[in-house]
Structure 1
Amino acid sequence: MRIKLMLILFPLLFALFLLGCEKKKPMPQIPEVSVIKIDTEEILLTTELPGRTSPYKIAEIRPQVSGIILKRYFTEGSNVKAGEVLYQIDPAQYKAAYDNAKAALSRAEANLQSVKAKYERYQELIKVNAISKQEFDDVKAQYEQTLSEIEALKAQVRNAQINLGYTKITAPISGRIGKSNVTEGALVTAYQAQELTRIQQLDPIYVDIPQSTKELRELEKRLEQGRLKYAGKEQNKVKLILEDGTDYPLEGTLQFKDVTVDPTTGSVTLRAIFPNPKGILLPGMFVRAVIREGINKKAILVPQQVVFRDTKGNPFVYIVDKENKVQIRPIQVDRTIGDRWLVSEGLEVGEQVVIEGVQRIMPGAQVKPVPYTEQKKEQSR
C-alpha cells in the first residue's frame, strides 16, 4: 500500500518541481553591442600607381668622322662633364686636309691683290675710253670670280677645321657614362649605327607613371562634382616607394600628362621629376608612385572590421536604428586608407554602426548600443 502511494505521489511531486523551475527561469536579456557614431573628416586622397624611372637626359655617343681610335680618356661608370674629351680619333688625315685648305685659301688671297689692283686701274681707264668695254668686263669678271673662289675656300677651311675638331669626341651633356663598346685601335665610321658609349643624366631623374583613362576620368568627375578639392600647391607633389618597400626620402613634382592613349593598355603616361643627388634611383627601376588626387572634406571612414560582404561580394554594415534595432545597410566603399574603409555611399552622419557583438545579433533584433571607446579597443587587444 505504501509503495502504491509513492508511485502515485512521485510523478505529482516531479511535475510540481518542474513547474517551480520554469517560474524561476530568468527573462532573456537584451544583448549589448559596441557601436561607433558616423562622422566626417577631411583627408588627402592619394593613388598608388606603378612607375618606372628613366634618365632626365640621355646621349648616345657616335663618331662624326671616320678613323682609328687612338685613346679612350674616361673611366666606365664614372661621372663626366659636358665638353670633356671621351675618345681621340687619329687626326693625321684631317690635319692634312685642314692645312691644304688653308694653303689654297692663302694662294687665292695673294692672287686677289693683283687682280684687284688691275680691276681698279681699268675702272679709271674705262672712264676716259682708254680701253675697250670688253677688256673692262673681262677684268671685272676675273675679280668677282676670285672673290667667289676665296669664299668657297674659306668654307672648305671651316669644314676641314670642323672635321679636325670631330676627331676629339666630347661629352655633349654631364652625367653618368656607361661601358665603352670600342677599344683603342678600333676603326669607327661617321654616324655608325653602334654607339661608342652612352651618357645619362640621373640628377634629376624622371619617373613615368601609366594611369588608366577610366581612373583619370573618375578623378575628373569627382573634382567637377565637388567631392574632391584641389590640394593647392601640394597637388603636384609625388612620393615614391622603392622596390624593397621603403619610402624614397625626397618628393618629386608632377611635370605633365601625356595626351596620347596607349592602345595596348588603355592608359596615359604621367611624368614626374625627382631629385636624385645620391644616385639611389637608376634608369629602368620599377617603383610605386603615390599621387595626390585631392582633398575630401567630408570623408566617411569606418574600421575595416565593421564591413561585411554578402554572397555576391557586396559590402554591408550592421547599424542600430533610432528604435535600437539592428538593420543591415548596404554601402559602397571607395578604397582602404590605413586600417579603415572610405565609404562613398550608404551611411549618414550620426548613424550608429556595430563594431563589436555582431555574433549575438540578427536583423530586427533589439539591442543595447554602447559607445566604442579607445579604452575598449586597447582592452580587446
Structure 2
Amino acid sequence: MTHQRSNIRSRRLIPGLIMACLLPAALSSCGNKAGAETAGMETPVPELPVMTLDTTTAMTTSDYSALLEGKVNVDIRPQVDGYLDKIFVDEGSYVKAGQPLFQINEQTYREQLNKDIASLHAMESALNAAQLEVDKVKPLVDNKVMAEMQLKTALATLQTAKANVEQAKAAVASSRINVGFTLVKAPVSGYIGRIPKRIGNLVGKGDAAPLTTLSDISEVYAYFSMSENDFMNFSKGASGATLQQQLKLLRPVTLVLSNGETYSHKGRIEMVDGQFNRTTAAISLRATFPNPASLLRSGNTGKVRVEQLFSGVIQVPQAATLEMQDKVFVYQVADSNKVVRRILDLAGRSEENFIVRDGVKRGDKIVTAGIETLIEGTVVKPAAGSKDTVAPAAGK
C-alpha cells in the first residue's frame, strides 16, 4: 500500500518537472524572436521644413498704452470769493481766449473800490495842502522871517502826503483788480469741461474743485512709458548726436484709438523725461498729434505705436520658436542633420517674425515646423524645397 502511494506521487511530479524545464526555454525562444523582429525595424527619420537664415531689413512695431491730454489743459478757478451770479457758457462748448465764462457777485468789491477811490481823493487833497504849506513857508525862511525848522517840518509833511497818495493809488488798483476778477474769462481758446457749480453757489479761492476745465485740443499730447530695456533699444537705433536731434530724426508714430482704429494723423515724439521712475523702472515720453477735427479730447486713452527700422539683422519666424520659462529658442540643424536647441536673445518683433540679437547667425539652418515633438539630438531630414529658404525682409 505504501509502495502504491509512492508510485502515484511520482507520476504526479513528473509532468510538473517537465513544464518547469520547458518554460524557460519557451520564454527564451519568444524573447529571441521579438528581439529579432525589433532589430529588423528602424525608426523613421522625420522630414521637416528647414530655413537658412540670412540678414535682412526689418521694421519693428511696439505699442505702448497712452493717456491723451489737450495741448493746454487749464483749471478755471475763482480768484475772489462770492456768490455765482451768471454762467455764460455751456459744458462742452468751444470758447475763445478772453470770452466771459462766469460772473461772481461784484457788489462787495465795487463798494470797496469806491471807498478806496474816496480815500485817494482825500490823500490827494492832503498832498495839495502840504504843497501849499511848503510854498508859503519857503520864501519866509529864505528871507529869514521864519526859522528853517518850520520849512523842514513842512517838507516832511509833504513827503508823508505823497506816500499816502501812492498807498491810496495802490489800494484803488487792487480793488479794481478784484472787481475784474469777478468776471471770469477764458485764458485760452478751447473746449469747456464739466461745470459742477450752479448759479447761487458760493465759490472761492479755497475750493477744492475748479469752476471748470478748459482744454485747447488743436493738438493733443499722448503720454506713454517705456521700460528701461525698450528705451535702451529705442535710443540705440536712433540717429543724431544729441537727444533733440534724435527726436527730430525719429520716424512718425501712430495712434491706435481705444476702439482699435488707427488715427488718421501721424504724430511725433517731442519729449523724453529726464529720469526713470524708481518705482516702475520706466521713463515717460510725449508724442504730439494734430487734432483739426477735434476728434480727440483730454482724458482719451489709446496706444502709441512706435516703429523702428533695422538693417542687417536676422529674422526668425515666430512659428519656428518655442517658449519655455521666459526663454525663446529654436532648433538648429547641425552636423549630420542633428537638431540642437538654441536660446535666442531677441531685439524686437517685425510682423510675424522675431528680430534676433544673438543665438543664431547668418547661414544657420533652423527647423520651421513640427518642433513641438523634437528633442535635442534628433536626426531630421530637410523637406523638399526648404534647403534655400531665407527669412523674408519686412517692408521699408
- 1:340 matched to which residue of 2? 353
- 2:169 matched to which residue of 1? 154
> Which amino acid letter does the alignment assign opposite residue 182 of structure 1?
K
Q: Are positions 1:300 and 2:314 aligned together?
A: yes
CA drift at 1:318: 4.5
**Are 1:62 and 1:191, in contact at CA under 8 Å, matched by a contact in 2?**
no
**Are 1:101 and 1:153, in contact at CA under 8 Å, matched by a contact in 2?**
yes
Evaluate the alpha carbon distance shift between residue 162 and residue 330 of structure 1 in structure 2; reply closer, same or farther with a 3 A threshold: same
Evaluate the alpha carbon distance shift between residue 116 and residue 332 of structure 1 in structure 2; reply closer, same or farther with a 3 A threshold: same
Q: Are positions 1:266 and 2:281 aligned together?
A: yes
- 2:218 matched to which residue of 1? 203
User: In structure 2, the residue corresponding to 1:118 is in which secondary structure?
Assistant: helix
2: CA distance, partners of 1:165 / 1:237: 45
1:193-248 alpha-carbon deviations (Å, 9 max, x no partner): 33222212223122221222243345556779xxxxx9884416322211222211
2: CA distance, partners of 1:104 / 1:88: 27
Evaluate the alpha carbon distance shift between residue 360 and residue 177 of structure 1 in structure 2; reply closer, same or farther with a 3 A threshold: closer
2: CA distance, partners of 1:110 / 1:327: 106
CA drift at 1:31: 8.4
**Are 2:59 and 2:350, in contact at CA under 8 Å, matched by a contact in 1?**
no
**Runs of at least 5 residues in structure 1 that lack an aligned partner in the other structure:** 1-28, 225-229, 375-381
**Are 1:50 and 1:287, in contact at CA under 8 Å, matched by a contact in 2?**
yes
**Are 1:320 and 1:354, in contact at CA under 8 Å, matched by a contact in 2?**
no
> What is the aligned length?
339
User: In structure 2, the residue corresponding to 1:162 is in which secondary structure?
Assistant: helix
CA drift at 1:308: 4.5
CA drift at 1:327: 3.5
User: In structure 2, the residue corresponding to 1:181 is in which secondary structure?
Assistant: coil
**Are 1:32 and 1:357, in contact at CA under 8 Å, matched by a contact in 2?**
no
2: CA distance, partners of 1:359 / 1:95: 84
Evaluate the alpha carbon distance shift between residue 367 and residue 45 of structure 1 in structure 2; reply closer, same or farther with a 3 A threshold: closer
**Are 1:36 and 1:352, in contact at CA under 8 Å, matched by a contact in 2?**
yes
> Which amino acid letter does the alignment assign opposite residue 86 of structure 2?
K
**Runs of at least 5 residues in structure 2 that lack an aligned partner in the other structure:** 1-43, 240-244, 390-396
2: CA distance, partners of 1:262 / 1:254: 19
1: CA distance, partners of 2:267 / 2:238: 23
Determine which of 109, 112, 116 is the counterpart of 2:124.
Answer: 109
TM-score normalised according to structure 2 size = 0.74
1: CA distance, partners of 2:238 / 2:89: 52
CA drift at 1:90: 2.0
Evaluate the alpha carbon distance shift between residue 265 and residue 313 of structure 1 in structure 2; reply closer, same or farther with a 3 A threshold: closer
> Which amino acid letter does the alignment assign opposite residue 315 of structure 1?
F
Evaluate the alpha carbon distance shift between residue 190 and residue 39 of structure 1 in structure 2; reply closer, same or farther with a 3 A threshold: closer
2: CA distance, partners of 1:164 / 1:356: 79
More displaced stretch, 64-73 vs 206-215: 206-215
User: In structure 1, the residue corresponding to 2:144 is in which secondary structure?
Assistant: coil
2: CA distance, partners of 1:312 / 1:192: 51
- 1:169 matched to which residue of 2? 184
Q: Are positions 1:118 and 2:133 aligned together?
A: yes
- 1:317 matched to which residue of 2? 331
Q: Could you say what the CA RMSD is over the residues aligned between the two structures, in angstroms?
A: 3.4
1: CA distance, partners of 2:207 / 2:80: 10
More displaced stretch, 84-93 vs 336-345: 336-345
1:160-208 alpha-carbon deviations (Å, 9 max, x no partner): 1111111111112222112222222222234433322221222312222
User: In structure 1, the residue corresponding to 2:250 is in which secondary structure?
Assistant: helix
1: CA distance, partners of 2:252 / 2:58: 16
Q: Are positions 1:62 and 2:77 aligned together?
A: yes
Alignment of 1:345-356 (within 5 A): 345-355=358-368
> Which amino acid letter does the alignment assign opposite residue 298 of structure 1?
G
2: CA distance, partners of 1:65 / 1:129: 57
CA drift at 1:289: 1.4
2: CA distance, partners of 1:261 / 1:313: 26
CA drift at 1:357: 8.2
User: In structure 1, the residue corresponding to 2:314 is in which secondary structure?
Assistant: strand
1: CA distance, partners of 2:372 / 2:68: 50
CA drift at 1:72: 0.8
CA drift at 1:119: 0.9
> Which amino acid letter does the alignment assign opposite residue 262 of structure 1?
N
Evaluate the alpha carbon distance shift between residue 358 and residue 100 of structure 1 in structure 2; reply closer, same or farther with a 3 A threshold: closer
- 1:328 matched to which residue of 2? 340
1:349-379 alpha-carbon deviations (Å, 9 max, x no partner): 33444446889998335657524799xxxxx
- 1:247 matched to which residue of 2? 262
- 1:25 matched to which residue of 2? none
Determine which of 182, 189, 192 is the counterpart of 2:204.
Answer: 189
Determine which of 106, 130, 135 is the counterpart of 1:91.
Answer: 106
CA drift at 1:68: 2.1
Evaluate the alpha carbon distance shift between residue 326 and residue 258 of structure 1 in structure 2; reply closer, same or farther with a 3 A threshold: same
> Which amino acid letter does the alignment assign opposite residue 300 of structure 1?
I
Evaluate the alpha carbon distance shift between residue 360 and residue 32 of structure 1 in structure 2; reply closer, same or farther with a 3 A threshold: farther
**Are 1:38 and 1:351, in contact at CA under 8 Å, matched by a contact in 2?**
yes
**Are 1:327 and 1:363, in contact at CA under 8 Å, matched by a contact in 2?**
yes
1: CA distance, partners of 2:372 / 2:62: 35
- 2:242 matched to which residue of 1? none
Evaluate the alpha carbon distance shift between residue 34 and residue 316 of structure 1 in structure 2; reply closer, same or farther with a 3 A threshold: closer
- 1:79 matched to which residue of 2? 94
- 1:18 matched to which residue of 2? none
Q: Are positions 1:178 and 2:193 aligned together?
A: yes
